[in-house]
Structure 1
Amino acid sequence: MYMAKGSNGLDSQVIVRASSGSWKIKMGLSDLFSIATSLFSEVFSAYIVIARLGWASILPVVIAVVYVILKARMDVYAMRLRNVTNSALPPKFQQGYINICQHMKTIKLYAWESVFLHEIGLGKVKYVTPPLVWLAQFTMKALNSSLSEIAASLAIISQLRPDSSFSYVEMTIILSSMSSLVTFTRSLGSISKKLNYIGETETVFKQIVSAQQADYIVRKTATKDTAVKMNDSEFSWGKDKFSIRSLALEIKQGEFVAIVGKVGCGKSSIVSALCGEMPLERGEACIFGSIGYVSQKPWIMNATFRDNVLLGNEYDEKRYNQTIEACALTEDLKLMPAGDMSEIGHAGINLSGGQKTRLALARAIYMDANVYIFDDLLSAVDAHVERHLVERVLVGNGLLANKTRILVTHAEHVVPLCDKVITIDHGDILVTQQEKMSYSGMAVHDLMPSADLAEACAKHAVPSTSNAKSGEFTITPELEVPAFSRQTLWKFIALSGYANVATAIAFQFLFSYGFYYVEGLRMELVKGAGTGLMASALKRYLIVNAVVTIMKCQIGSISALISSHMWFDRVEIKMTNSIVEALLFAPLPVFERMSKGTLEKLMHEDVMLASHHLPSHLCSRVYEMFNAINSLILTIRTSPIVLLSLIPLMCVMLLVNKRREKVQGIVVKVARGSGARLRENILQEVLAGKEVMRTHDRVDHYIDELAEASAKAAMLENHSMRIAMIKARVEEIVVDVLYICILIYCKLASLNDPSSFGPGNVDMMMRFSGSTLNKLSSISFSDIGITQCLPSLSRFFVYAEQLGREAPHVSKDTQPSADWPAQGAIEFKDYSMSYRSELGPVLNQLSFKINGKEKVGIVGRTGAGKSSLTYALLRLVEPAAGNVFIDGVDTSTIGLHALRSNISVVPQDPVLFEGTIRDNLDPKHEYTDAQVWEAIEKAKVGHLLTTPAGTFDSTAKPNGHSIVRNPSGNWIAGVGLDRWVSANGTNFSVGERQLLSLCRALLWQRAILIMDEATANIDSATDQVMQAVIREEFNDKTVLTIAHRLNTVMNCDRILVLDAGKVQEFDSPSELLSRDGHFSRLVESMKFNEKTKE
């Protein structure tokens, strides 16, 4: 799990490999043992064949070996062709499934549902393997089953002479030899399949293990003097990528160090270097003692609040309570349904940005580390909480006052409190030693009146550490997968298309019954032949047998190809579109409460099993049923008495199947009640928080937890498989016993009446009775595959049908005019909103009006409901009461697409998707390249479109798509609009992502712009540039600015002050400052009142 930072795009691949590749590992390992254990039987079979047929038996061996070589070459060619097909795809949103699971809020904010639905569906179509390759692959698979009979027939034919004559006993020996040859060559032919599984197993292991790496910084035992020491160190993300050069740094134990610099200068990279995530190219780098780390984007697990803090450590009540109080989380816990045992959703979805940051801080503090590293810790909290964290954690008598603290920050008023300042400018480092100073001549405890601090943080309250049942957040338990029913299968057939299914079954029928007549013809060739004519008759029979087998092989390949094209591929596209559409158009609160690991498994493994494996097994079962009926008819023609042997077999099959269904139901119930389904969730959590886990040295704990969950899931899967295998083995034993009885009957009949029951009759009776019994047994084995696929099919329909849908995206009856909204006037009337019906409202009876083209700042404490206004305006959550009007139009009456596509948002957590800059700014390609360049120039982000290998030139004409794959399969970063964006935008800092989000808004030029903490992760100089751009470019637009930095909103026309979801004040800044109200106290706490009066 030691994956380097910058490789986040591999996370989704690892999840897919762990889900869809688990069966490959299982089959590969089982086949590895199978090859070893079957070696003895294969050598013994070879000895029997050579002893009876001589060295002519080498012929089938040679044929089998040639087949293995051809099959291996075909697999290599098919893999190369798939890679070429993948490379031909446009470099746009390659991780579609993962984007849906992780960034649904962003997709809905920008009304990009249709974009992702189209891209994923288009990707499925373009990934379809070419028909000729399919035909070749199916041919090789069919040869695997028919090659044995062809080889055996040729070997025996080579031993026959025209004048040969032999008795019944010699005939029996020949048939027995042929059986041995068939067994032997089938064993050789199956080696290719087994080696293929083993090769895929090796590939899966290599893909997962290849993502591992060791820490690049040396960790040593803590000392009393030095905490961090770097001597002429150079760190780099790779060739032609960002580097930190000639870093000479020494930090003493107990020092407080600030890291400052402009957006994108490399602050987070030096943090990665300190944490051992950035490759060390040369020099020496050491850190003494353990590390506590809070990342810029806090990592939160889908677990209880307490588990997030403990991170697998033992619970110490005193230390835990001190940590909670120091991080100002006491009041937050009181509001949670089960205190600190409340469940936190995936990525902290039910927490505000400030709460997530403080929870991550609490986790780091509880680790009791030697060195603490905070990446932009204070950007997501308001002035009250910032003061509390500085005093109770960082300086003075804070919990970490005697620890080594390294703080990346844009908060300039905190810098004077530090011992050292590290200034970074695009990889160049300047270290400044300074004497601790107070901010604006004040001690830190004067930043806020103590009475306000006590009121804001409730420092003497006791946290709620209830041991009651967790306040559940995820809704996975509510979406129970019912037991399989025939109705589910009929729904699957309807989804597939009755015509497609009927075509596939018709080909199986024609294929089976066509060869029914051929089998009858072959039977007539030797039936009733005398001793003298037996050699020539047998030779004709074997030749026809070989020819028919070859025809059977090729026609079977064509039939499989048609079934795949008419059924498998089409139903996969339909199922993919259905589940993606269900997820994209599900209400956001419902989606956010769903298990993301289960969703990713659903979209990868379940869809593949239900769309390809299940139809394949169904076709096999239908074909085996037709074959069994044909064989039964042929057997009855030869000897009707064999029909009596089927009666006990059918009775056993019915009894065993009934018992299996009962036990299988018990296993399914146990699986639902266990933690088996947590395997995917834990894997996703481990991958998402790998940097934090590595830094805190907690990887082994969660790997053990993942192994335990995987073992539990594997145990349940094995129980289910074992039940099906026992059923099949019991039926196989019964078949073998009945076949022995038939052989004894044939022996006795031929001895008693050799004239009417000759060798031809014996051969046909043995062959067709054995074939009939084997076909019936094969039906049971096909049931095993069907049984494995049915839960996936049931789960698909549950999620596709029971998630519900949000309001219509297009409402033709109430479609607003084309120029709506022209003014951008917003009015809330008695508006209330709650994220969940059982919880209290986050917005309560809001009533206010914003004039068109007005600039409004929105402020308030963490959790006051500021970001919830965005949810309300874009109807991400439907109102509990009241209405929202935009230019006089009630937003609840129009389609969601019309609403969301007319509002621009620069979100608090900006997201970039894997692809080019062009694709991220304009995925629908509604604007020309010239318009995109104009927006880039206005946003002043041209420097972000350069790479070390190229420079930005705004006057140059766009050079189209210059993105190509290098030999290792990775996209090469281009320049300009072709600058490549890694998955989740990891090759851009959070501040840079916010600037690119602003560039989107400049390109779209919509009447309303919402800035949700858009300047939280950028320095003050860049903030001023952004504010100037907004004032100039959005002068005729309505702008809502949600901010913790009060200087960001001081130039607004009016300021809306929220507290506990209610409007406390709403007026101009000058008017609010003249009062003794909420806003005035906020400004006083940050000492902006003096700046304003000046």
Structure 2
Amino acid sequence: MELQPLNTQGEGSSPYFPLVSSSSLSSIIFFSWAKQIFSIGKKNKLTPEDVYPLPDEHSSQNETLTSYLSRYSLYKSLLFSNIKLISKAIMLGNLVSLFDFSSPLFIQFLLSYLQTQEKFLSIGILLAISFTIVTLTTQVLKGQFLWTNQLVEIKIKSSLSNAIFCKVLKVARIPEGTGVNILQVDVKKVCDGFKDLSLFISTPLQAGLSMYLIYYQVGNAVYAALATLTICLSLNTVITRAVGKFSGRIMSVRDRRVEATTQMLASIKMIKAYVWEKFFKKKIEDARVRELSLLRKLQILQGTTYFFFWIVPSITAAAVFMYYTLVMEKSLDPGTAFVTLSTLLILQDSLQEIPWLVSEVMMCIVSCRRMQGLIDLPDLEGLPSSDTVDLKECTLAYGDKSVLNRISLKVNKGEFIAVVGTVGSGKSSLLNGIMGELKVKEGVIKVTDSIAYAPSLDSWLQNDSLRNNILFGKPYNEAWYLKVVDACCLIQDINSLPNKDLTEIGERGINLSGGQKARICLARAVYADKDIYLLDDPLSSVDTFVATHIMNKCFLNVLSQKTRILVTHRLNILNKVDRVIVLQNGSIIENSSPDSLQITQDIEDHKSSEIEEMHSTHTKLIEDEDKESGKVNIKILKDYFGYSGGYLMISIAFLAMGLWAATRMIADIILKEWSTDPDGTETYLLLYILFRVGGTIFAFIRAVLTMAVVGNRASRFIHNQMIKSFIRAPVNLFYDVTPLGRILNRLNKDLNSIDELVPRATASIIAQIWQVLSMVFLALIYFPILIMILPFWVYYSLQIKDLYLGAARELTRLEAISNSPILNNFEETLSGAKIIRTFRQTQNFHIKNCRLIDINSRLLYSMSACRCWLVVNLGLLSSGVLCFMFALIVVFRNNISLGAVGLSLAYVVPLPINIYYLVIDWANLENQLISVERAKVYMGITSENPHKQATDKNLGNWPQFPSIEFKNVQMKYRSNTPIILKGVNFSIEAGKRVGLVGRTGSGKSSIYLCLLRLVEISSGSILIDGVNIAMIGLNKLRSAITLVPQDPLVFSGDLKDNLDPCQLKSNGEVENALKEVNLTRFSIDYEIKGDGSNISAGERQLISLGRAMLTHTKIILFDEATAGIDQNTDHQIQELIKNKFQGCTILTIAHRLGTVMESDQIIVMQDGKVSEAGNPKVLLSKDSIFKSLKDNFN
């Protein structure tokens, strides 16, 4: 065997970036240190190595959160572990709130100055200089405030993700959909909630200060504002509670949708074979309809909340001015009017933030509760230590359900024990109990912690090279490694791979046969060199030659000094073990030496099957994730609106917001005229109320249309198209090269962005465009001299925006891509947690997870730095323009109307923050549209061949005579892979029973894949009943064939749904099928968990056989269907097949030669070709390969 050298070259080093702590004070204040990434981004496409290093305190390996979780709830732990950053953010937030009030105060000072007779220039200059200093300070504080908030998010995300990962390794099992949803959605919502905690505190403070300043201007008229606010806020409290309620319900429904989607994607090959695409599509889409229905109601509620906080300042202004002029009988002057108006604009900004802040906090609380539920799950308890295995009167349970009753068993050091029993007797549960995976309800288990475990039917492998799967974190020892792979009969398999043992074996071992996966799992266990070996039927998945080799070279040689507990259905090997344990109904009924064993059964031959090896010409099987670069194509935005049903609704929303801006401008012009004409109070007041309050209805229309209509429709279309695309995607060309985590990333994180963030970003950008346009327009009307600097302002604003967006787009794409490995690793760990714990590899997986999280955190860190640079620089530019305008007012102080100055400043002062929000909202929309861009890639996956053909209707009840003929068939999995079937020729008469035998990897399962057209053949033809199957629609073809696999598919739902998901059979027929396959202990409404953990491997196989009983097709493919079944049950099943499937053409892959000895024909496969075929008796009467296989077994 040729072994490839280990790759010892480290990862590429990153360019040096100075940490913030080593930067100068001015660089820290103005974020100059962040500019380096813009320079790199302009020259080259950014890569993860180009981003800034992550300070140690933000690393995921920081264990501060974990230490608090042992004493406090999750919410308190997150608060206490980040108290310094959160406190700093709150302090900066309050300072920003205080400095924001400098604007109305300076407007008042300026108007007072302009009302004086002298208007001394020196005083005006002093005002202008003071205003400049305060404005620039405000922008710097805002940058530092945003930076601190972003650090809170980064730290919480990394520590929380790590804590969840660690918890998954400590609990027995959590539903896969729930785990993925918590990691991808709930963590984000908690981060958002804590990031905005400072705003949640400072915003009410800002609102309170606004009220005080209004009181300072209008005296008791402020009580009108208080009364208005109290009524509106009380009404909004009811809506806020409903928001929290709907958020929790949405997350619950989303869990079910994610679970169903994960089940479908993980078992897509079997779903296609069973023609269950419509069932799973409906199941997922039904959950999606419920999710979107709740989301639409939530978005309408959010729109109503926005409406309240748009209308509150308008009603408040109207109430204040009405009370001031009519009740207090005072005249409005420009100073009072526009200082109050400017303050009300600050109040509006504060109140505008409250709805989404409340929404964020409510969703944060909901997500915290969900995660608290996970964190509160009991950890698996460690078992008392012992030199060997000792169980005393043990009752063991999965949850509350007992599976083993009062078991007593002591295994001596170095003893070789076999465990046998019928299906569901508790064999695998015994091994799980010894590993500490079951709850000990009674008794005591003592065991050493030096345990290795080798599963068969539930083989778990990593998406890594074959060698690394065997090493499993242990150092490479070539001599020991070669001895192990030889003992596990892997040398021939390794030499057949293009890159030997460095060939990537794919996610879940997808490019390996069942036998190869079982032997790699065995090699992993043997290489670990432990004291105790728990072997869960590893011989069931290999042929007779390999089984003999493993028994002699591995179990009886390499492991001869080890303690071995072997679960098996092979009674012929029992004479080679020291002791046999017989289990029945969860109890030990016999414990004796093989010679005195009181069971009589026929010697069984062998079992297993394979999902054919998918060779690759490259070490790398899984394709890299695509990453777009450059600007987000405007076509993506057009497509998004197109997905919502066209441009009508978004056009109405845009126009509605334009009408809001127009009515607001008219109302403020009315206020200007009113402040200089006290005689028309009633008329002005009526018009002001009409335009101010009436205009907010347009803002409500915009919010509901963009979120509850446009967003909801687009989300539904995108999700359904992706699901349709996934269902139609070819197995070999898409699923074999695309990790499940990458797909789930699109269906979770990206879809969540499309559901919630893209509509919100769309609504926000529409509002911000009209805000800025109205402000500039009105300022130019009353202060046309601004036209002098407007071109320069716009030019430099665009320069800053383009510089920022160039880096922000790439960083956003990289951050989205960096989430996929985290999710892949999480999903892989979730499914293999038991093995990881048993092999004591939790620390290695923890380190890997921390490395992946830190890569993501580095990208978030760089994105945050870029955003803060944008805040400060845009703020400084806009503040400079504002100060220039302030200076011009001082220069032209004798020729300017007070009303014009007041109105212009009321509109221009908020311009810096509104221009910043415009750029940020545009960048945010672009960033969120990346999720649409990524989803669109998966909406257009190349489909497999048509599911329906026009000629299908002419076939009637095809096949009438289910003969099968292969004519010179060649097949390869992809264009860059070797040929697997090399000119296969054979014919099978209708109604015959045929056995397919041959070594693992010889091409047996590839025959099945070709018959079902799960992989299309490269050349030749396959005929069924004389019809070329290439001309038949896939649904018609697959509906005519029933596959009973070795790795059966079960999904969450009752037993009837699992047997007859399309609801084609009556309850009586389903119950009869259960009776025929000996599953009468279960009722048809027995609820099966999503991963099938509450039924045994053998019971899952019997369920699969029960499905076949209900289909009544004329071609049946058995792929080691009885591999996990005991000998007596296997014999009963063979009789059942003989009686129930009379007249059917039956193909059986078997390593138990006894299973196929009564076949009409045997086909022996070798190296992708038919090496011989004929009647088994004829083949046994001469020197044939089939005879050698049987002799080798004997």
Bin the TM-score by the shorter chain.
0.7 to 0.9
Tell me, yes or no, if the aligned pair for 1:16 and 1:604 is still in contact at 8 Å: yes
Structure-1 separation of matches of 2:636 and 2:278:
29
| More off after superposition, 995-1004 vs 515-524 | 515-524
Tell me, yes or no, if the aligned pair for 2:996 and 2:1148 is still in contact at 8 Å: yes
**Corresponding residue of 1:95:** 259
Tell me, yes or no, if the aligned pair for 1:32 and 1:194 is still in contact at 8 Å: no
**Corresponding residue of 2:447:** 287
One-letter amino acid of the structure 1 residue matched with residue 670 of structure 2: E
Tell me, yes or no, if the aligned pair for 1:341 and 1:469 is still in contact at 8 Å: no
Deviations along 1:65-102, one digit per CA (max 9) or x if unpaired, are: 8877765654543454576789999x998733202321
State the 1:868 CA deviation. 1.1
The correspondence of residues 879-918 of structure 1 with structure 2, limited to 5 A, is 879-918=1017-1056
State the 1:778 CA deviation. 2.7
The correspondence of residues 438-517 of structure 1 with structure 2, limited to 5 A, is 471-477=619-625, 479-486=626-633, 488-489=635-636, 492-493=639-640, 495-496=642-643, 500-517=646-663
One-letter amino acid of the structure 2 residue matched with residue 1044 of structure 1: H
> Which residue of 362, 378, 383 corresponds with 1:196?
362
The SS at the match of 2:540 is coil
Q: Which runs of 5+ in 1 are unaligned?
A: 449-467, 946-975, 1088-1094
Structure-1 separation of matches of 2:335 and 2:707:
46
> Which residue of 565, 578, 581 corresponds with 1:419?
578
State the 1:558 CA deviation. 3.7
Deviations along 1:239-271, one digit per CA (max 9) or x if unpaired, are: 4x3432222222222122222211112222222
Deviations along 1:859-883, one digit per CA (max 9) or x if unpaired, are: 1111111111110111111112211
State the 1:105 CA deviation. 0.6
> Which residue of 1142, 1150, 1156 corresponds with 1:1043?
1150
Please state if 1:763 is matched with 2:909.
no
Tell me, yes or no, if the aligned pair for 2:463 and 2:507 is still in contact at 8 Å: yes
**Corresponding residue of 1:381:** 542
One-letter amino acid of the structure 2 residue matched with residue 163 of structure 1: E
One-letter amino acid of the structure 2 residue matched with residue 653 of structure 1: S
Deviations along 1:314-361, one digit per CA (max 9) or x if unpaired, are: 222222222111111111111111111111111101011011001111
Structure-2 separation of matches of 1:520 and 1:7:
65
Structure-1 separation of matches of 2:267 and 2:172:
18
Structure-1 separation of matches of 2:541 and 2:170:
23
Structure-2 separation of matches of 1:503 and 1:521:
27
Structure-2 separation of matches of 1:56 and 1:293:
78
Q: CA RMSD in A?
A: 3.6
> Which residue of 675, 681, 690 corresponds with 1:529?
675
CA, structure 1 residues 794+253, in 2 after alignment: closer, same or farther (shift >3 Å)?
Answer: same
**Corresponding residue of 1:339:** 500
CA, structure 1 residues 56+806, in 2 after alignment: closer, same or farther (shift >3 Å)?
Answer: same
**Corresponding residue of 1:566:** 709
The SS at the match of 1:1044 is coil
Please state if 1:846 is matched with 2:984.
yes
The SS at the match of 2:950 is coil
Structure-2 separation of matches of 1:729 and 1:608:
30
> Which residue of 599, 614, 629 corresponds with 2:773?
629
Tell me, yes or no, if the aligned pair for 2:797 and 2:877 is still in contact at 8 Å: no
Please state if 1:305 is matched with 2:449.
no
Please state if 1:1065 is matched with 2:1164.
no
Structure-1 separation of matches of 2:1158 and 2:850:
55
What's the TM-score once normalised by structure 2's chain length?
A: 0.78
Deviations along 1:705-725, one digit per CA (max 9) or x if unpaired, are: 112112202322442354345
Deviations along 1:403-456, one digit per CA (max 9) or x if unpaired, are: 111111111122333333322222223351326799999xx9xx99xxxxxxxx
One-letter amino acid of the structure 1 residue matched with residue 897 of structure 2: F
State the 1:33 CA deviation. 4.9
**Corresponding residue of 1:1028:** 1135
One-letter amino acid of the structure 2 residue matched with residue 605 of structure 1: K
Deviations along 1:922-951, one digit per CA (max 9) or x if unpaired, are: 2222233333333333333222x2xxxxxx
One-letter amino acid of the structure 1 residue matched with residue 275 of structure 2: A
What's the TM-score once normalised by structure 1's chain length?
A: 0.85
Tell me, yes or no, if the aligned pair for 1:865 and 1:1060 is still in contact at 8 Å: yes
Please state if 1:1085 is matched with 2:1181.
no
Structure-2 separation of matches of 1:439 and 1:939:
26
The SS at the match of 1:244 is strand
Tell me, yes or no, if the aligned pair for 1:300 and 1:308 is still in contact at 8 Å: yes
The SS at the match of 1:766 is helix
CA, structure 1 residues 696+152, in 2 after alignment: closer, same or farther (shift >3 Å)?
Answer: farther
Tell me, yes or no, if the aligned pair for 2:317 and 2:341 is still in contact at 8 Å: no
Tell me, yes or no, if the aligned pair for 2:578 and 2:593 is still in contact at 8 Å: yes
> Which residue of 589, 593, 604 corresponds with 2:737?
593
CA, structure 1 residues 318+44, in 2 after alignment: closer, same or farther (shift >3 Å)?
Answer: farther
> Which residue of 1056, 1077, 1089 corresponds with 2:1163?
1056
**Corresponding residue of 2:934:** 795
**Corresponding residue of 1:608:** 752
Deviations along 1:287-328, one digit per CA (max 9) or x if unpaired, are: 123211122411011111122112222222222222111111
CA, structure 1 residues 315+39, in 2 after alignment: closer, same or farther (shift >3 Å)?
Answer: farther
Tell me, yes or no, if the aligned pair for 1:735 and 1:773 is still in contact at 8 Å: yes
Q: Which runs of 5+ in 2 are unaligned?
A: 1-165, 607-615
The correspondence of residues 147-296 of structure 1 with structure 2, limited to 5 A, is 147=312, 150-151=315-316, 154=319, 161-164=327-330, 174=340, 178=344, 192-193=358-359, 195-196=361-362, 198-200=364-366, 202-203=368-369, 205-206=371-372, 208-210=374-376, 213-220=378-385, 223=387, 227-239=388-400, 241-296=401-456
| More off after superposition, 139-148 vs 840-849 | 139-148
The correspondence of residues 732-743 of structure 1 with structure 2, limited to 5 A, is 732-743=875-886
State the 1:988 CA deviation. 1.8
The SS at the match of 1:908 is coil
Deviations along 1:481-502, one digit per CA (max 9) or x if unpaired, are: 35444364266247415x5333
The correspondence of residues 659-808 of structure 1 with structure 2, limited to 5 A, is 659-664=803-808, 667=811, 677-746=820-889, 751-753=893-895, 757-758=897-898, 760-770=899-909, 774-801=913-940, 803-808=941-946
Please state if 1:10 is matched with 2:156.
no
Tell me, yes or no, if the aligned pair for 2:1163 and 2:1173 is still in contact at 8 Å: yes
Question: Which structure's residues are more often helix, by fraction?
Answer: 2
Structure-2 separation of matches of 1:188 and 1:151:
16
Tell me, yes or no, if the aligned pair for 1:45 and 1:184 is still in contact at 8 Å: no
One-letter amino acid of the structure 1 residue matched with residue 1154 of structure 2: N
One-letter amino acid of the structure 2 residue matched with residue 576 of structure 1: H
CA, structure 1 residues 593+771, in 2 after alignment: closer, same or farther (shift >3 Å)?
Answer: same
CA, structure 1 residues 558+47, in 2 after alignment: closer, same or farther (shift >3 Å)?
Answer: closer
The correspondence of residues 880-959 of structure 1 with structure 2, limited to 5 A, is 880-943=1018-1081, 945=1082
Tell me, yes or no, if the aligned pair for 1:67 and 1:189 is still in contact at 8 Å: no
Tell me, yes or no, if the aligned pair for 1:216 and 1:278 is still in contact at 8 Å: no
CA, structure 1 residues 177+883, in 2 after alignment: closer, same or farther (shift >3 Å)?
Answer: closer
Tell me, yes or no, if the aligned pair for 1:293 and 1:374 is still in contact at 8 Å: yes
The correspondence of residues 573-584 of structure 1 with structure 2, limited to 5 A, is 573-584=716-727
**Corresponding residue of 2:798:** 654
One-letter amino acid of the structure 1 residue matched with residue 582 of structure 2: T
Tell me, yes or no, if the aligned pair for 2:302 and 2:355 is still in contact at 8 Å: no
Structure-2 separation of matches of 1:315 and 1:473:
23
Tell me, yes or no, if the aligned pair for 2:189 and 2:367 is still in contact at 8 Å: yes
CA, structure 1 residues 521+208, in 2 after alignment: closer, same or farther (shift >3 Å)?
Answer: same
One-letter amino acid of the structure 1 residue matched with residue 435 of structure 2: C
Deviations along 1:872-912, one digit per CA (max 9) or x if unpaired, are: 11111111221111000011111111111110010111011
State the 1:644 CA deviation. 3.6
Tell me, yes or no, if the aligned pair for 1:263 and 1:992 is still in contact at 8 Å: yes
| More off after superposition, 879-888 vs 717-726 | 717-726
Structure-2 separation of matches of 1:657 and 1:641:
25
**Corresponding residue of 1:457:** none
Structure-1 separation of matches of 2:869 and 2:914:
18
Percent identity over the alignment is: 25
